Amino acid sequence: MQTLVSDTIAVRIVHLGDSTGKLQVIFADTDVLDLSAIARITKRRLEPTSLFNEKGDPFTRSIKIPTLIDRNILSKEKVSILYDSQSDFIELSTEEFEGLFVTQPYSYDSFTIPPHTIPPIHSHHASDEEYLSEALGRFQSIRLKQRLEETLELPPLPVSAKKIITLCSRKNVDTDELCDVISLDPSLAAQVVSWASSPYYGAPGDIESVEDAIIRVLGFDMVMNLALGLSMKNVLDLPKNGPRHYQNFWYNAVFRSSLMESLVKRMPAKKRPRIGHAYLAGLLHNFGYLVIGHVMPTHFSVLSRHLEANAHVPTELIEMHLLRFTKEQLGSWLLRHWGLPENICNSIRYAKSPQIKKDGELNTIISLLRCCHCLCHEQTIDKDLFNIIGLSEEECLSVYQEVQSSSSKLQTMVNLLK
């Protein structure tokens, strides 16, 4: 049977700008916009003017704004284009498309990258350290350093976090031991108590101690992992000059962890992973973003602008093109180096990789992370995920809407992190 090739190409429009003016670029929505190529063509350092636009910018018909069109568009007979922000995509013939530029300056050039030319994420975390060292060596003079942790020059893990990790590794730990460890850090203890006291949980009466937080509201496993996440919060600062849609980084982290928690509570009892592990995986799912910003701030700025310009493609595609590793790889490596539970490290590492064939809690947490990602980005959820977590699409959407309706309460919780 012969495969039919579509003669229509859907295009993406991105508005770029600098101190001298704006430029409109148009390219296939399956490709990656290469800002370094734009810089070579224009001899200007142009940046996206939109914060984060998955749909793309609408077409601009202004004689003051020149347009740069990728040559790949010429290979098709028809073009599907977002003509204005109030309407959907419309289909034009190539002749009609070129007719749009009769009154404004435009030119053709090559400035995109086909996704198939970008190296894939390698399959197993056991090789991450080798790949990370090699990739970082492209940017820094690290060849003489043998240990990746020395290369990264990362701050040490807080004492409280080390003690909690030690507790995580033991099978029999009681409430008193956990309370003692958390209480060694008064600020951490206050945050845990405030978290349990927040309107989001609606606990009756006052929560006066970490023990109260454990017994009356959150539970032992939840408090252990929450305290671990909170104690790590100040290890790395929020990077400057990052993607502008990441300005609410900690709100997004708290939202994702709360969504993970709510989905686990709705799951059938036999399928539920440890709620604390699921919560911490959600809270730290983007931790690698902080690590990249800390390790390589200059390159992180370049990465950030590319992420803004390419909101239509998965972030790992941009990361692999520019860095040769993903934030999930780097973040999970650091968490593993610090001694966090394997299931948390691996669930973050494989959250965006092809489905791995492993049973048990790890696969469940990975599936929950993927489900949360789809819910937050309004993407179609793979039906296989519903089978793994034991929830229907309607149930997942219902949970998402419930958490979304508590956004103001979650923001209050985020404020406790400052």
| Structure token digits, residue 141 | 């003079």
Which pLDDT band, with edges at 50, 70 and 90, does 135 fall under? Answer: confident
**Predicted pLDDT of residue 246:** 66
pLDDT averaged over every residue in the chain: 86
Which pLDDT band, with edges at 50, 70 and 90, does 144 fall under? Answer: very low
Beta bridge partners of 13: 26
Which pLDDT band, with edges at 50, 70 and 90, does 281 fall under? Answer: very high
Which pLDDT band, with edges at 50, 70 and 90, does 150 fall under? Answer: low
Instruction: Tell whether the model's pLDDT for residue 36 goes beyond 90.
Output: yes
Confirm if 47 and 120 have CB atoms less than 8 A apart: no
**Predicted pLDDT of residue 357:** 54
Confirm if 165 and 193 have CB atoms less than 8 A apart: no
The one-letter code for the residue type at 50 is S
**Predicted pLDDT of residue 332:** 93
**Predicted pLDDT of residue 149:** 65
Region 33-56 average pLDDT = 87
The one-letter code for the residue type at 192 is V
119 or 92, which is more confident: 119
**Predicted pLDDT of residue 89:** 79
Region 124-139 average pLDDT = 81
CA within 13 Å, CB half, 138? 10
**Predicted pLDDT of residue 402:** 96
Confirm if 179 and 211 have CB atoms less than 8 A apart: yes
| Structure token digits, residue 19 | 């101190």
Q: Are strands 21-28 and 67-70 parallel, antiparallel or unpaired?
A: parallel
Distance CA(381)–CA(249), nearest Å, equals: 23
Q: List alpha helices for 310-341, DSSP H.
A: 315-322, 327-337
**Predicted pLDDT of residue 51:** 67
Question: What's the gap between Cα 25 and its chain centre?
Answer: 26
Backbone angles phi, psi at 337, to 5 degrees: -60, -35
| Structure token digits, residue 301 | 């700025």
Distance CA(324)–CA(297), nearest Å, equals: 16
Lowest mean pLDDT among 129-143, 206-220, 284-298, 381-395: 129-143
Instruction: Tell whether the model's pLDDT for residue 69 goes beyond 70.
Output: yes
Distance CA(411)–CA(392), nearest Å, equals: 28
**Predicted pLDDT of residue 5:** 46
Q: Between helices 342-349 and 361-376, what is the axis angle to 10°? A: 40
Write the CA distances from 150 to 21, 128, 155, 249, 288, integer angstroms. 43, 16, 10, 27, 17
65 or 6, which is more confident: 65
Instruction: Tell whether the model's pLDDT for residue 120 goes beyond 80.
Output: yes
Per cent of the chain over pLDDT 90 is 41
Non-local CB neighbours of 387 within 8 Å, separated by 6+ positions: none
Please give the domain boundaries of the chain with CATH numbers for all domains: 8-117 (3.90.960.10), 125-155+236-415 (1.10.3210.10)
Question: What's the gap between Cα 252 and its chain centre?
Answer: 9
What is the residue whose two structure tokens read 């296939």?
A: 28
Which pLDDT band, with edges at 50, 70 and 90, does 1 fall under? Answer: very low
Which pLDDT band, with edges at 50, 70 and 90, does 85 fall under? Answer: low
Convert the pLDDT of each residue in 314-362 to its tens digit. Answer: 999 999 999 999 999 999 999 988 888 898 999 999 998 766 556 688 9
